[in-house]
Amino acid sequence: MTLLLTSFDTWKVRQRSNSSDDLLTELQQRSGLPDDVVLLRKLPVDFKLAPELAIAELLNCSLVS
């Protein structure tokens, strides 16, 4: 089974980072993720575009039939 983990980009200019993306970065750097985990990081904070990108990644990874 493959798991897709996502994070969003910052949405305010003053934000240096997004805590969910920081967590994914930390896990990736520590090799704390299994091989069957796919990361889709820094999705745009856009109600229409973000789900489209996530679905495209799911299809690309063959996570959905």
Q: Is the predicted pLDDT of residue 36 greater than 90, yes or no?
A: no
Does 54 fall in a domain? Answer: yes
Per the structure block, which two tokens stand in for 59?
């299809």
**Residue 24 domain-assigned (yes or no):** yes
User: Does pLDDT of 64 surpass 80?
Assistant: no
**Domains: count for the chain:** 1
Q: Is residue 20 part of a domain?
A: yes
Rounded distance between C-alpha atoms, residue 51 and residue 25, angstroms: 21
* Domain extent for 41: 3-60
**Averaged pLDDT score across all residues of the chain:** 88
Give the global pTM: 0.76
Question: Would the pLDDT of 52 be above 80?
Answer: yes
10: CB partners within 8 A, 6+ apart: 16, 17, 18, 45
Q: Give tens-digit pLDDT for 3-12.
A: 889 999 998 8
